Every structure is written in C-alpha cells, then in structure tokens.
Structure 1
Amino acid sequence: MQRMMRVSTTHALGGIMRTRTAVAAVLLLATVGTACNSSGEPEKIRVTITRTVTASPGQKAAPKVDGALKMGAKQALDDEENNFHSTVQALEYQQPYKGPQPQAPQDFQGGDTWATVSVKVCNIRGGDISVSQFPWSLAYADGTSIEVTGSSGGDMPKPEYPMDKTVKPGRCAAGLIAFPVPSGKRPERLVYETEAGDLAEWAIPKA
C-alpha cells in the first residue's frame, strides 16, 4: 500500500521569504506496523514523501564551470540594507586581442601581449554607483594573477570600459579591459572583487 504526500517548503533568501513548490521527487521510505494481513502478522506500509525545492520564477541559477560562472553569465549584486541593486557580467575573453594591438607591454607589466575582456555592469535600482577597471583581474591555475595597468586612452583597445564613472539607476557601463599577459600562458578565471566585498568569478574557456 502506497501513500503519496506532496510537500511545499519555504526558504529565506536575502531576508525575503520565498515559497518554492515541490516538483521533482526525493523519496524517504518509512516502515510502520499499523495494519495486519490475513495471516495476522503486521503488514508493512510504505509511505512515500515527495519533497522538492525549485528556483522561484525569474530566479534561474547562472551556469557554472568548475565553481566559476560560465562566460556570458550575469551575477546579481544586491545590498538590501543600503538599497543598491546591480548586475555584473563578463561577456568575452580574447587572447591575444583580435583588434589592432597597442604598443607591446613593458617588461615590468608581466606580459608580452595584450588580452581583453568585454564586461558590463548595470545599476538596476537604488542610488548612484561608481565603476572602474580596478576590481577586475585575471587568475591563473598556479595562483598568480594579473591586475589592470591603469593605462587608458591612446591606442588601448576600444571601446574601453571606464576607469572611473558614475552610473545612475537604470543605466549600464560596458567596454573592454586590457591585460598585459604572457602569450604562452592562459588564465583560468576572470575575477571581479570590490573593496566592499562583492566577488564574482568567470571561467575562461580554453583556447
């Protein structure tokens, strides 16, 4: 004898209670002796409990690769306490940059060619936000990293992501960030980390 029970669960996410509906089944089998068969022996009753948690509508999880976001995925950055809501997105990595190469990086910059990432930050709602290239860096499998140079203008790849810009609610900032990289070595991840503690990482596809 089988009895089916469908259960809904409620989870707190960022201080907001969201009810999630059971869709797929996780089975928990319990044995109880509450009935007898024709021989007078206890009859085993199987109770099947269906319990599934799914993402709320519009809350589709971003795809990941080895724990990092897939290139092109968008990450939400929400500060409920201060009413700041924005998104950050890495769109493409090029090594070497496929457009006109700027003057070769200098030795102290740590690379012999220029690579670029195409990124976009949007201010969804709340107050003004300030964006720059400095939160972005490249991380390698051996633990080393490459930061932005701070160089802009001139023959740097265009359109450039701004070095320092105020973005009002409902607007975005997008463009290319150039990194001086060693041509024989490919980074593993693109990292976005702010002084406020916001952190997101994207897996860089293999060449």
Structure 2
Amino acid sequence: MPAAHLAILRDEPSACHKTVTRIHRLHAIRKADLMRRLTTAALAAGTTILLALTGCGASENPPATPAAKTGAEGATDSASTPATETTSPSPTASPEPTTAAPLKLGATHTWEDVDAGVSGISTALSYQQGIKSVGLAAEETGNAGYIWAALELKVCSTKGMFIATPTPWTLSYADGARIEPSSSTWDDFPKPEFPFETKLTPGKCVRGKVVFPVPGNSNPETIVYAPESAETPVEWAVPAK
C-alpha cells in the first residue's frame, strides 16, 4: 500500500475520535443546561408554595388578645376605673285597708260624701228573725227552710239632700253568703216599712223595717251598710240566738 494511503488511514481514527468527543461534550452541555432549568423551576415553585403557606398561616392565626394584667399593674388599672353600682328600688308595701270592729245594734254611724256635698247618720236599730206572713220566704227563694227576718233602720240627713233606700243594706253570714232585702211587700209585713225611696233634706230622717228571706237554721253575723260613696263598708254585729 502506498505511504500516502497509510497516512490517510492513520488520520481517519483521529477525526472520528474528535467527532465523538464533540458529541459527548454537546450532550454534557445540554444535560447541564436542562438540570439548571429544572433547578430554577423547582426553586421558583418552592418559593411560591412557601409564600402561600405563609399567607394562610397569617389569616388562620389572628393576633393574640393581650393577656390580663396581674399584680400591681392590674391593681392600678382597676383603681383608675370607677366601679358602677346598680341598686334596685326597695319594694314599697301597699297599706292594707283597715276594717273597724262591728258596731252594736243601736249605735249610729256618721258619714259624709264630699263629692256630692251631703252628710248623714245611719243606724241599724234591731234585728228579728221568724216573722210570720201569708207569703212564704221559701216560695220567694225556692229554698225550703227559709223564713222571714226584719231589720229596723234609721237614716237622717245632716247636710244636703239625698235619697235613702234599703238597697245598700245586706245580711252577712259566716260562710260568706250575702242576702239582700226581699222584693215582696206583703200587707202583713212588720210596720212601719222602710220606704223603697225617701228624699231627705237636712234635719229630716226616715225610719222603718226591711224584710229579708233568710235560712231558718242559721243567724247572720253582721248587718252591712255599703253605699257606693263609702270607701269601706260599715257593719253592726247581730247577737247570737
């Protein structure tokens, strides 16, 4: 083989070697560039995640409330702030109405109606039970065992003019029962009868008996006088049988 051809063969391996070396270097450069890019992207992503977590932590953990002061410092603050006291009003007891003891039959009761400009004297004189009559108390009331009773009254005017009636007078029993005057006027009822209405002028009086249908087996405790103008009723005790 000629020498020139041998020289060429000797040089050919050197050219291939150079080419392979360049390829390896190119791969190394590309690999290094790829690693650099991946590292930069990872760092950027990690920074973004860290910032997001920091923001969440700040919103989920509000500022702590300052702790209460203790010791001398707390005492100073308490002393500087005036305490507020609340007092409830004391309950006021309402005065209870007083009821006078019952009067004795025959005792007078003097009264006055300031608004009407009148005054007078009222008296329960006597009480009698078991009055006889052609009319029967049991028929009037529809209750067997009822009988008639008579209450003698006297009313006088000392000032002004007013009308006296038997309406304010009732009989009161121990069980709370109240009995009003009878609506009947039999001819044989006790006389003089107390008129249903009598106009009285100063110095004038009316006197008479009012009949009541009452249970024959019991006696009233008191006679009650309670006109509309009176603040409290007045009572007369009825003697026991």
Does the alignment reach a TM-score above 0.5? Answer: yes
Question: Residue 37 of structure 1 aligns with which residue?
Answer: none
C-alpha offsets along residues 28-77 of structure 1, whole Å, 9 cap, x if unaligned? xxxxxxxxxxxxxxxxxxxxxxxxxxxxxxxxxxxxxx821111110011
C-alpha offsets along residues 123-159 of structure 1, whole Å, 9 cap, x if unaligned? 012x211011111110000111111122235232211
Whose helix fraction is larger, Structure 1's or Structure 2's? 2
Structure 1 residue 80 displacement after superposition: 3.3
Whose strand fraction is larger, Structure 1's or Structure 2's? 1
C-alpha offsets along residues 146-205 of structure 1, whole Å, 9 cap, x if unaligned? 111222352322110110111111100110000111111100000111122362110001
Counterpart CA distance in 2 for 1:112 and 1:190 is 18
RMSD between superposed Cα atoms in Å: 1.9
Question: Residue 195 of structure 2 aligns with which residue?
Answer: 162
- Contact 2:119–2:158 (8 Å) recurs in 1: yes
Counterpart CA distance in 2 for 1:102 and 1:157 is 12
Aligned partner of 2:103 among 69, 92, 107: 69
Bigger CA radius of gyration: 2
User: In structure 2, do the counterparts of structure 1 residues 148 and 90 end up closer, same or farther at CA, with 3 Å as the change threshold?
Assistant: same
Question: Residue 163 of structure 2 aligns with which residue?
Answer: 130
Counterpart CA distance in 1 for 2:139 and 2:178 is 16
Residue 153 of structure 2 corresponds to residue 116 of structure 1: no
Structure 1 residue 81 displacement after superposition: 4.3
C-alpha offsets along residues 64-106 of structure 1, whole Å, 9 cap, x if unaligned? xx82111111001112344311010001111123xx5342113
Aligned partner of 1:104 among 118, 133, 136: 136
- Contact 1:68–1:203 (8 Å) recurs in 2: yes
* Structure 1 unaligned regions, length at least 5: 1-65
Counterpart CA distance in 2 for 1:202 and 1:102 is 29
How many pairs were matched up? 139
Counterpart CA distance in 1 for 2:156 and 2:191 is 19
Question: Residue 79 of structure 1 aligns with which residue?
Answer: 113
- Contact 1:102–1:114 (8 Å) recurs in 2: no
Counterpart CA distance in 2 for 1:201 and 1:143 is 14
Identity, in percent, stands at 36
Paired residue secondary structure (1:106)? helix
